[in-house]
Each structure stands twice: as C-alpha cells, then as structure tokens.
C-alpha cells in the first residue's frame, strides 16, 4: 500500500476535518492576499497623486560662493566659478540607470525682461512637461503652442493691464491677504498683444491665481526665452518628478549628480518624506496583520493535526504493527497537511483576489482597479504549504512515537 493511497483515503473519510482546515487556511491566506493587493494598489495611487504635486528633485548649476561679513553681520555673498546648465544636459539625465523612474523632466530658463516698458520676470519652459508637472494649473484660454505665444501669470497679467483688476472684497471680489481664498475668475484678456524686448507676442492664456510665485511670471517656450535673454542653449534649473512608489530617491540623486558633475542635485525632502511615510505606514499595517493571520493559520492546523493524532491512535497502531516505520507515519501526516494546505492556499488566493478586485474601487479615491499578481499567487501557495508542513511536524513526530502495543489496546 502506497503512502499516497493512505493519505487520500484518510482525507476522504475525514471530509469534515479537511474542510475545516481548508476554510481556516483559506480565510487566513485570503485575508493576507486581499490586504497585500489592496495595499499595493493604494500605494500606487498615492504615489501617482503625490507625483502630481510637482518636482521632488531639483537640478541647478553648481557654483562656489563666499560670504562677506563683519561683526557677524552678513554684507554680501559673492559667487564665482559658476557652471551653467545646458540643454544637452537633459540627455544625460535621461541616460541614468533609473531613467525609467523619471516621469517628468521640466527644464527652465529664468530672467528679467522688459514688457511694455516694465521689468518683468520671464520663465522659458517646455510646456508639454510643465503642464504635466503642474496639473493644478487652471488656464483661462489655452497653453501656448507657437514660439510667439505666451502664458501670463495672474499678478503679471494685472500689472501689465492684460486683465482687469478685481473689485475690492466688499464688492464681491476675493479679499487679499494671508488667508484669502483663491477663487476661479473669468480672466478674459482685455488685449492679447504684448511686446517683450520690443518684439511682438500674443497672449494665448492667463493663469488662474495660484497664490504663489507662478502668478508673477510670464511664461514662454524655452527656445523663445533663450533667444530673448541672449542665452542660447542655457538653463537655469531642471525640475524632475520621479515616480515615487518605492522610488530610490537618494540613488536617483546620486546618479544624476554623477551624470552632471557641474550641477547641484537635491531632493525636495518634504515631498519625498511625505510620500515615503505614507507608503511605510501602509506597509507596516499590512505586514502586522499578515503576521497575525499567519499565526492564526498555524495554530488552526496545529490544533487540528493534534486532534487527528488522538483520533487515529488505533490506525497508527495498526500501521506500525504492519511494519510501517516511524518515518512513514511522519510522512503520512505531513503529506496530508501539505495537500490540505495547498487546497486552502488556492481557495484563499482566489477569494483574496476576488475580494480585492471588488473592494479596490471603494478604497481608492480614483476608483482604480486591482490586477492579480503572479508573484503574489506563488507566494501565497508556498506560504500556505509551509504553514501546513511546519505546524504538522510536532503532531507527526508525536504520532510516530506512539507505542504500537499501547495503540492496539483501543480495539
């Protein structure tokens, strides 16, 4: 008689006990699978949402500076040996090892320029990248699509008379101050022509008030700003947004620094810290609950197998009397536990995935779905079998040590 035949026969005769073990393991495995899947989905959504808040890495020209002070009072800071960023540096950033983690690379050139006789701040940008990075922007009109088109910040548009100044707060306008509420207004331009450095341009759109420095700028295409400021091919800074779901920010900063030795690369620590803390909290919660469920599954299999040893004392005595060795008895119990655990793992994985798919839209703000993972499936099955085997070791060893003579007295 083969051991596998004995195992199959025992499982058929004790269907109730087998079903109890399968259900117990399935609940544990299903809970862990659903939780890990939901955690992964939520982490991805949080990473995507936080990536919309802007850059988390800033690249600026490296320069040496010397502060002049007297009596502890700073008088001035002199900069020397300034290294300029070039448009060609963007290729070096895109060539780093973690280039696939860089979602947005937004170059900028900043400077002052005369606009209708007034000195204003000009920012040359790549509008395709800039609009992806600053998804909170609201534009009255449209983004520039030609070299001679501009996007004007809210305060800059007021200063240049492109839009009408809002009415005072008592007449329905938005109050100004530290606590004023930014509201969306109809910013239909009073005129669409603007001269920069004596050259005519068209106003394609006006930026809704953001309450920040964006309101003060005139935005033009990058190449246009380079021509107007007399800095062909030069950049003032590059803002980089790295995909943050587990992103190795420090490694990315180090790789960009190595690719651009003439630049200073720094992570925006506040954005990075917020991302990583949120992800870490979710991971810790998921891990803690997973450990609890694993312990519950372990105890359930252990108790069930111990009860099975007591229940099958006579059977074990007969097997030993027929010449089965201790190792045979141990293998019978371990194989039974492994088979039941594998079935429980499959049922639990399927139930966990189904629960995760159905509940994911309710746990995420964007209602994104969850996709089954092959790695998670393999991990769940292996973990279930290991729990079953390890928890059945002691009962199996105890069963093998039963004295055949004493066992046969139960007949």
Structure confidence by residue, pLDDT tens digits, 224-258: 999 999 999 999 999 998 865 556 778 889 999 99
pLDDT digits (tens, 9 = 90+) for 95-125: 998 888 888 899 999 999 999 888 999 999 9
Q: How many CA atoms lie within 13 A of 385 on its CB side?
A: 11
Can you give the pLDDT at residue 365? 59
Q: What is the mean pLDDT of the chain?
A: 79
Can you give the pLDDT at residue 396? 81
Can you give the pLDDT at residue 245? 55
State the average pLDDT over residues 204-215: 89
Looking at the DSSP bridge assignments, the partners of residue 266 are 58
10 pLDDT more than 80: no
Share of the chain above pLDDT 70, in %: 77
What are the C-alpha distances in Å from 105 to residues 1, 54, 91, 126, 133? Answer: 69, 11, 10, 9, 9
Band the pLDDT of 183: cuts 50, 70, 90: very low
Band the pLDDT of 289: cuts 50, 70, 90: confident
State the average pLDDT over residues 133-153: 90
Can you give the pLDDT at residue 331? 85
Q: What is the pTM of this model?
A: 0.55
Can you give the pLDDT at residue 187? 61
180 pLDDT more than 50: no
> Which of 219-233, 291-305, 313-327 ranks highest by mean pLDDT?
219-233
**Three-state SS letters, 88-133:** CHHHHHHCCCCHHHEEEEEEEEEEEEEECCEEEEEEEECHHHHHHH
pLDDT digits (tens, 9 = 90+) for 251-281: 889 999 999 998 999 887 665 566 567 667 7
State the average pLDDT over residues 141-162: 91
78 pLDDT more than 50: no
Residue ranges covered by each domain of the chain: 3-49+277-408, 77-265
Lowest-pLDDT range of 122-136, 308-322, 334-348: 308-322
């Amino acid at each position: 008689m083969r051991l596998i035949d004995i195992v199959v026969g025992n499982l058929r005769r004790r269907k109730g006990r087998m079903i109890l073990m399968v259900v117990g393991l399935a609940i544990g495995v299903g809970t862990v699978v659903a939780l890990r899947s939901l955690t992964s989905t939520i982490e991805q959504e949080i990473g995507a949402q936080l990536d919309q808040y802007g850059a988390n890495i800033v690249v600026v020209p490296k320069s040496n500076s010397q502060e002049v002070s007297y009596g502890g009072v700073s008088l001035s800071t002199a900069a020397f040996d300034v290294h300029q960023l070039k448009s060609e540096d963007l290729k070096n950033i895109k060539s780093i090892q973690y280039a696939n983690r860089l979602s947005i690379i937004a170059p900028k050139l900043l400077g002052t320029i005369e606009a209708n006789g007034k000195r204003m701040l000009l920012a040359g940008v790549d509008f395709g990248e800039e609009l992806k990075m600053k998804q909170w922007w609201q534009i009255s009109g449209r983004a520039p699509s030609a070299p001679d088109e501009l996007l004007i910040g809210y305060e800059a548009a007021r200063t240049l008379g492109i839009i009408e100044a809002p009415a005072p707060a008592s007449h329905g306008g938005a109050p100004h101050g530290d606590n004023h509420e930014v509201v969306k207004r109809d910013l239909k331009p009073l005129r669409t022509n603007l001269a920069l450095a004596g050259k005519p341009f068209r106003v394609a759109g006006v930026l809704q008030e953001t309450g920040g420095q964006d309101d003060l700028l005139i935005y033009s295409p990058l190449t246009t700003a380079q021509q107007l400021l007399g800095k062909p091919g030069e950049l003032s800074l590059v803002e980089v947004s790295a995909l943050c779901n587990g992103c190795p920010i420090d490694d990315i900063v180090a790789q960009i620094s190595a690719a651009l030795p003439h630049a200073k690369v720094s992570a925006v620590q506040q954005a990075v810290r917020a991302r990583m803390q949120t992800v870490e909290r979710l991971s810790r919660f998921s891990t803690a609950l997973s450990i609890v469920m694993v312990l519950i599954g372990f105890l359930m299999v252990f108790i069930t197998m111990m009860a099975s040893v007591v229940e099958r004392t006579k059977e074990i005595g007969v097997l030993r009397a027929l010449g089965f060795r201790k190792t045979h008895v141990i293998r019978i119990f371990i194989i039974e536990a492994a088979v039941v655990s594998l079935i429980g793992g499959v049922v639990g994985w399927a139930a966990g995935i189904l629960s995760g798919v159905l509940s994911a839209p309710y746990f995420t703000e964007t209602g994104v779905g969850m996709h089954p993972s092959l790695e998670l499936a393999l991990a769940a099955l292996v973990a279930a079998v290991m729990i079953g085997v390890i928890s059945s070791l002691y009962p199996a060893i105890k069963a093998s040590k039963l004295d055949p003579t004493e066992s046969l007295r139960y007949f």
